[in-house]
Each structure stands twice: as structure tokens, then as C-alpha cells.
Chains A and B, each alone.
Chain A
């Protein structure tokens, strides 16, 4: 049960129940769909990038498991106000966090609240849930205009 508590921390359960930035941005400059065909998780990511190349607003809509929803919620809070370049670095660090070996000390520096996702390391089947929103955000910012898939 310890691993499970680590995975489903209060923060994650809270964001699952009441996700932040769970809305449509009507005048979004960037937008992408994220889809995990394995479990049916589906979300749309909206971002508004200002003249300085900063993400002034970011939000999401969709349905999914607690991990994917909480990840999208925490991510949108975390990246708001950052540049696309900074966000790319964040995704790399986040990806490293959730895919690193569970045996070693988790590298959470610079990830703030996102550190709660260290518990995903024990559950490799759930990595795709934790990274779905990030894949969608990257696809949106890259302006590919295509659906991001975790497969």
C-alpha cells in the first residue's frame, strides 16, 4: 500500500477531483489533442502565447484517469508564464522523473509541485498517463496541429 499512497498522494487526488485550468481558451494561439488509445484518455490542450514567446495562458479539457487529469492540472499551473524553450526543458526533467529507476533518489529539482509524480516510477504502465498532457502541450507549441499520441 505504500507505493500506492506514493502514487495517489493527496495532491494528485485533489487535482483529479478539482482540476485547475479545466476550460477552453476560445482565442488560443496553439491547440492540440492528446489521446492514449490504450485506456481511452483524451484531452485537448489550449495555449495562448504572447508576443514575447511566453505562455500567457494554458488550459485543458477532456476525460481521463486520475493520473492524467492531475498531471494536466498541475502542468498547466506550472508552465504558465514560461517560454516555450523553458517548457521543453521542464518536460525533459518531468519525463526523466517519471521514467527513472524506482530504486534511486528521485531528481525533483526545479520541478516544484510536480515532484508528487515520482510515485509513477513504481508503475511503468502509468507513465503514459502522466505524460499525456505534456505530449499534447509540446505538440501544441510545436504547432504541428496534429493529435499527440502516447503510443
Chain B
């Protein structure tokens, strides 16, 4: 199926709305993606006609709800190339997935004197849980550097590996800069040294085909709300033997095999990690999102977005005093920038008045901002439902901003 932008846009009801009296130009998809009718309808249909709790009911409605929920697990496994749907654990978001691994795998495998390698371009979600683990276990965090363009210094990263290295955790695509990291190369390097890997795929899965088997990651995490799914459903992918060897995360119902006051035995994976009633409707919505993206094709989406990124990169050159932050050759559709005379926060306000939604701030990546020597940036992040006209409106609004503050 060829990519039809007109049809795609008509799938997203919010794109027909206005913001401050102007057509909505939504360029904040890296924060959260908008939702197609397919997702909204799937959730509303589930609540209206098929809702029941899952796993325990013996009646038809519950069996159907369970089938929809578990069916999403199969869909997600297929979507990310996981060989076994039991490797897909549903969580709230990528942040929770990382915390789950830190609290379970981390507690068991990281001890005093051990080392965890991160990179300078991580989102706080891939820093803080490891810091907390290191604090609890007496481990050390090592940080791989990036260059001026926002590209990982691979030599430096590799030089950090040593006999006490237990984990390499890094982002697939930088949320603040758009840099795409060489995941397969890094994973293979870590694998050769017996180091476990976790990849934050929150900004990758929405933009390109991802195959966790080909990448050979131990853990791969992403958020459903960034892949046009609802908020409240995210994914932890882990290799089966790893997940099976990990202690449970939260205790409660649904994650047990049998309970007595003397002892409790836990359910097999993935239920072991899914205590309590999950966000059933959101998981089902995520299933609809994965179906929707699959029908368009992630390769088609990547191709369209790259063309749009090139157009936007070129367009921003026409804005006086604008400097792009993050100019890696391998980049996803994220444009981070600063203007000579206008603070990112002011840019965000002026653009918002023109109906253009962008993000201004540190993008939950304060160490990265510090490395780049800027307190904050403005960030336009694209999705496959954006158009050349969206970019034109962005550029026009930025020219206006530069004039206002110049």
C-alpha cells in the first residue's frame, strides 16, 4: 500500500481542530503522538460492548476481553520481531519498563563495585532508575560522551567497558536531538563482553521498523502513547531466559500461581510482572495502534518522515539566527534548535499563538543540555501525519518570532 497523506490525516480527528483560532499544527509527537480513530474507536467499543476484567472470569465476556488483551501481546511481539509473545510484558510506559528491570534484574545482578554504562544523551527515564539502583547496591554509573553534533563517541563508550561492567543502557533514538544510535553494533560489542543490554526505544518504535531479534537486545522498552496508542500502556521486551530468571516486580493478584501465608509461588512470565488489573482498554488500544501502523508499514512511515525531515531542515535554514542542535547524519524526525534573540520558552509561546505546537525546555535530558551548553532548546518533532504545509507554518512562525525579538 502506498503512503497516502490525505487519508492518513483524515484518520486523526484532532488534526481538524484549531488552537488559539488557528489550524492545529502539531509538532510535538516526540512528547506524545496523536491518536487515529481506529484507536479511539477500539477503546470506546471495548468499554461500550466488551468490557470485563481479564484472566479470571469464566463467562464469555471475560473470555473475550482476555482474548483481546492477550491478542495484543501477540500483535506487539510480531510488530517488534519478538520470537515469543511471552517476551512481551505490558507496563504503563517506557519509564515503568526501565524501573521494572532496575528493580528486578538490577537488584539480582548488580552489586557493590559493579558498573553500569549510560550515555550523555539519555532521557531522565534512562538515568534516574539506574542511579537509584546504583545507590542501593553500591554500584557506579559511567557515562559515554557525545560530540558537538550529538553523535555518540563510540571509542569512548567502548573504552568504558571493564571486568565489572554489568549493563549497557542507552537510547535507540535521542528524544532531544533525534540522533539514531548504532544499536546492533553496540549490542554486539556488549554481548562479546558478557554485558547485558537495555535499549530505550521510546523514540524509535514510532518512526522506523524495529526488530528486537535482529538487534539482539536483552531488554527493549517503549511507550504505547508515542506509537499513536493510548497513554497507560507500554511495553517491556525481554529475552525469555532473562525474564524467567528475574524476581517479580510488584506483588499481588494475577502474578501468582498459588498463595498461602507460608509461601507464594509466582505465575510464569509475563504474568509474573503484571500484578493487579492492568489498563486493559489501553492495551487493547495499543493493539489497534499496532494494527494501524502495520497496515501503513513502518518502512513507508520512515521514508515519508525522512523526506519531511529533509524539507524541514532546509526550511529552518531560512530563519535568521536559528541554530540546529543535533545534526547527526543518522537522524529521526526531530528538530531541536535555538534562536539568537529568543528564549525557547518565548518561541514556544509565539508559535503556540500561530497554532504551532512545539516543545520548549530541557526535554527531560538535563545532562545533555549541560553537555551542549544550552539551558534549553525548542523542539519540533514530526510524525507521519505531518505535512509540508505544517513545516511551512513552522518556518513562517519562526521568522515572525525572530523579527519580534530581534
For the complex, give the distance between the alpha carbons of A4 and B375 in Å.
24
Q: Which of B345, B353, B404, B405 contacts A41 (CB 8 A)?
A: B345
Contact between A64 and B343, CB atoms less than 8 A apart? yes
Cβ of B346 under 8 Å from chain A: yes
**Interface residue count on the B side (C-beta < 8 Å):** 18
Cβ of B344 under 8 Å from chain A: yes
For the complex, give the distance between the alpha carbons of A126 and B353 in Å.
13
| Interface set, chain A 1-53, CB cutoff 8 A to B | 1, 3-4, 7-8, 13, 16-17, 38-42
Question: B residues near A, CB below 8 A?
Answer: 20, 341-346, 349-350, 353, 360-362, 369, 375-376, 404-405
Cβ of A139 under 8 Å from chain B: no
**Quick one: CB contact mask for A115-151 with B, threshold 8 Å, 1 for yes?**
0000000010110010000000000000000000000
CB distance from B302 to the nearest CB of A (A): 32
* A-side contacts of B342, CB under 8 Å: 66
Contact between B404 and A40, CB atoms less than 8 A apart? no
* A-side contacts of B345, CB under 8 Å: 39, 41, 64-65, 67, 126, 129
**Provided the pairs A1-B353, A16-B405 are in contact, do residues A40 and B346 lie with their beta carbons within 8 angstroms?**
no
Contact between A123 and B343, CB atoms less than 8 A apart? no
A-B contact pairs, 30 of them (CB 8 A): A3-B353, A7-B349, A8-B346, A8-B350, A8-B404, A13-B404, A16-B405, A38-B361, A39-B343, A39-B344, A39-B360, A39-B376, A40-B362, A40-B369, A40-B375, A40-B376, A41-B345, A42-B375, A64-B343, A64-B345, A65-B343, A65-B344, A66-B343, A67-B345, A67-B346, A123-B349, A125-B349, A126-B345, A126-B349, A129-B345
CB distance from B127 to the nearest CB of A (A): 15
Cβ of A101 under 8 Å from chain B: no
For the complex, give the distance between the alpha carbons of A38 and B364 in Å.
9
Closest chain B residue, CB of each to CB of A16: B405
Closest chain A residue, CB of each to CB of B341: A17
Question: A residues near B, CB below 8 A?
Answer: 1, 3-4, 7-8, 13, 16-17, 38-42, 63-67, 123, 125-126, 129
Contact between A66 and B346, CB atoms less than 8 A apart? yes
CB distance from A38 to the nearest CB of B (A): 6
CB distance from A147 to the nearest CB of B (A): 16
* A-side contacts of B376, CB under 8 Å: 39-40
* A-side contacts of B404, CB under 8 Å: 8, 13
For the complex, give the distance between the alpha carbons of A41 and B349 in Å.
15
For the complex, give the distance between the alpha carbons of A4 and B341 in Å.
17
Closest chain B residue, CB of each to CB of A7: B349
Q: Which of A7, A13, A126, A129 contacts B405 (CB 8 A)?
A: A13
Contact between A39 and B405, CB atoms less than 8 A apart? no
* B-side contacts of A41, CB under 8 Å: 345, 375
Closest chain A residue, CB of each to CB of B361: A39
For the complex, give the distance between the alpha carbons of A7 and B401 in Å.
13
* B-side contacts of A16, CB under 8 Å: 405
Contact between B343 and A4, CB atoms less than 8 A apart? no
CB distance from A16 to the nearest CB of B (A): 7
CB distance from A2 to the nearest CB of B (A): 10
For the complex, give the distance between the alpha carbons of A38 and B350 in Å.
18
